[in-house]
Amino acid sequence: MSSTSWPYYPVFMRLRGQRVLLVGGGEVAARKLRLLLRADARVHVVAAQLNEEVAELCASGAAVHAGVVFEPRQLTGCRLAVAATDDVALNRQVAETADAQGVPVNVVDDSTLSTFVTPSIVDRAPLLIAISTGGAAPVLARRLRERLEAMLPSAYGRLAAFMHSRREAVRSAAAHTARRAIWERFLDSPAAEQVLSGDEARAADELAAMARQRPAVGEVYLVGAGPGDPDLLTFKALRLMQQCDVVLYDRLVAPEILELVRRDARRLFVGKARSQHAVPQDEINAELVRLATDGQRVLRLKGGDPFIFGRGGEEIDRLMAHGIPFQVVPGITAASGCAAYAGIPLTHRDCAQSVVFVTGHARADGTLDLHWDQLARRGQTLVVYMGLNSLPQVCAKLIEHGLSADWPAAMIDDGTSPRQRVITGTLADLPQRVADARLKGPSLLIVGEVVRLRERLRWRGEPA
């Protein structure tokens, strides 16, 4: 099992009128019985003794007391089985028999015997939120549930029911491609609030008006995804990531961040290795215009900040020329993120009063056309983006233009991620140290006396 594979496949199952075998009649079984009855399952209870609640539910006809001793034939025709006794051997027998018959089985408090587990539930029926840690950390699941309970007004169920009741109306009024945008607009409008406060008639009128409106031109969200750690996303980035129809992303966007984009948004990968682009910039610009003209909400997701070595300016230039609405959301640039996570302040009263960001990306002929006189300065921190390959050249040039060979420098690889590595040294020896470390990139070079502060200010563990 890979570290990212799921221990269980999440699914909601229709149990209305379906037979479920519940072995056990105590308090735990009663809890399971209550949940199964919420889904209108036909529950057959097998137990020698029933507690008061289970006995009452059986007596009232809500459930069936089908026997006092478990027998394999009781599983015939069952959609699910639940073993909820305090007899370990009996629970195992139920699990093994059910599994042999192909009936999914849950053994209370024993995930090794269970082929399905019941998650923690936030109940705003018909809206249900299921939370599971696959048995790894039930307390964490419970904590999360408490937070969601506090966040979601109880009337959310009413909102979900209202939307269900209007689905047909919206379906017949608007084309398939426009429907999602209508629902999104509805949720962001006062009409949703009207439903929550009980004024469903007015909300229905407003929703009908929204469904009649012609689909407008879409919009482009040019969003900075930060250097890698998803926790460094801004609230606004996250909000737009969750409401886009399509996302164009490049290599620097960490998979963990892409996970947070709306699940059913179309994903277009447009960036490849350093110095090449899977899709040339001009085609990316044209694609943004085409998708937005088609009425879609297009997320252009970029590593770091879109306006720092991100070609964001070129993209919005094209959007402006075509009158496409857009928003730009800044992200934490690699310099800020990597420096912070490496314990290297970019400025410091004692040793660095300014900071300069430059690109170390060499021209096709291998030369680096930079203003070395301005870069090789004391009292200043120099941050070099895209400088992994040109590191020997950068260090040599800085020495040539006046910095001493023992001037401190650090290379930060895959900064802010759990895989972050920091190689420190001097202008003289850093190139060899970095070559020995076989860094994979993306890597960021920081040059200046601030690098020495890391010895004191390093606050985060890193892989060896």
Nearest Cα neighbor of 86 from 57, 112, 107 is 107
List 338, 342, 375, 450, residue binding ligand SAM (CB under 6 A): 338
Listed ranges 21-29, 321-329, 331-339, 399-407: which one lies at the site for ligand SAM (CB under 6 A): 331-339
Query: Phi and psi at residue 130, in whole multiples of 5°?
Result: -105, 135
User: Nearest distance from residue 353's CB to ligand SAM, in Å?
Assistant: 23
User: Nearest distance from residue 262's CB to ligand SAM, in Å?
Assistant: 23
Binding flag, residue 315, ligand SAM (CB under 6 A): no
Listed ranges 6-14, 281-289, 398-406, 442-450: which one lies at the site for ligand SAM (CB under 6 A): 442-450
The catalytically annotated residue of 229, 245, 250, 413 is 250
User: Nearest distance from residue 230's CB to ligand SAM, in Å?
Assistant: 12
Nearest Cα neighbor of 107 from 87, 130, 128 is 87
Output the CA–CA distances (angstroms, integers) from residue 191 to 214, 215, 297, 326, 355, in the order listed: 19, 19, 22, 25, 49
User: Nearest distance from residue 385's CB to ligand SAM, in Å?
Assistant: 4
CB 137 within 8 A of CB 125: no
Q: Which is nearer to ligand SAM, 119 or 415 (CB)?
A: 415
Q: Which is nearer to ligand SAM, 58 or 388 (CB)?
A: 388
Site track 202-231 with ligand SAM (rule: CB under 6 A), x = hit: -------------------------xx---
User: 366 by DSSP, 3-state: which?
Assistant: coil
Binding flag, residue 330, ligand SAM (CB under 6 A): no
Whole-number Å distance between alpha carbons of 179 and 41: 33
Q: Which two tokens stand for residue 419?
A: 């895989």
Nearest Cα neighbor of 103 from 7, 15, 10, 1 is 15
List 442, 448, 451, 454, residue binding ligand SAM (CB under 6 A): 442
Cβ neighbours of residue 30 closer than 8 Å, sequence gap 6 or more? 51, 53, 54
The catalytically annotated residue of 272, 317, 406, 440 is 272
Q: Which is nearer to ligand SAM, 131 or 356 (CB)?
A: 356
Angle among Cα 257, 292, 281 to the nearest 5 degrees reads 65
Is 305 assigned a catalytic role? no
User: 126 by DSSP, 3-state: which?
Assistant: coil
Is 250 assigned a catalytic role? yes
Listed ranges 291-299, 313-321, 397-405, 436-444: which one lies at the site for ligand SAM (CB under 6 A): 436-444
Q: Which is nearer to ligand SAM, 218 or 304 (CB)?
A: 304
Nearest Cα neighbor of 297 from 266, 255, 256 is 266
Sheet holding 64-67, edge to edge: 64-67, 42-46, 19-23, 80-83, 105-107
Whole-number Å distance between alpha carbons of 207 and 191: 7
CB 433 within 8 A of CB 410: no
Site track 278-307 with ligand SAM (rule: CB under 6 A), x = hit: ------------------------xxxx--
User: Nearest distance from residue 239's CB to ligand SAM, in Å?
Assistant: 20
CB 246 within 8 A of CB 291: yes
Whole-number Å distance between alpha carbons of 266 and 241: 12
Binding flag, residue 271, ligand SAM (CB under 6 A): no
Site track 227-246 with ligand SAM (rule: CB under 6 A), x = hit: xx------------------
Nearest Cα neighbor of 219 from 289, 285, 266 is 289
Listed ranges 163-171, 195-203, 316-324, 440-448: which one lies at the site for ligand SAM (CB under 6 A): 440-448
Report the interhelical angle of 176-188 vs 156-173 (nearest 10°): 150
Listed ranges 125-133, 173-181, 367-375, 438-446: which one lies at the site for ligand SAM (CB under 6 A): 438-446
Footprint (CB under 6 A) of ligand SAM, residues 46-85:
none
Question: Total residues contacting ligand SAM (rule CB under 6 A)?
Answer: 22
Q: Which is nearer to ligand SAM, 442 or 448 (CB)?
A: 442
Position of minimal CB gap to ligand SAM = 304
CB 203 within 8 A of CB 192: yes
Footprint (CB under 6 A) of ligand SAM, residues 372-431:
385-386, 412, 414-416
Query: What are 116-124's contacts with CB under 8 Å, separation 24+?
Result: 116/8, 116/80, 117/8, 118/32, 118/35, 119/10, 120/144, 120/145, 121/35, 121/145, 122/148, 122/149, 122/152, 123/157, 124/152, 124/154, 124/156, 124/157, 124/160
List 113, 211, 444, 450, residue binding ligand SAM (CB under 6 A): 444
Q: List active site positions.
A: 250, 272
Which positions lie near ligand SAM, rule CB under 6 A? 227-228, 252, 302-305, 308-310, 333-334, 338, 385-386, 412, 414-416, 442-444
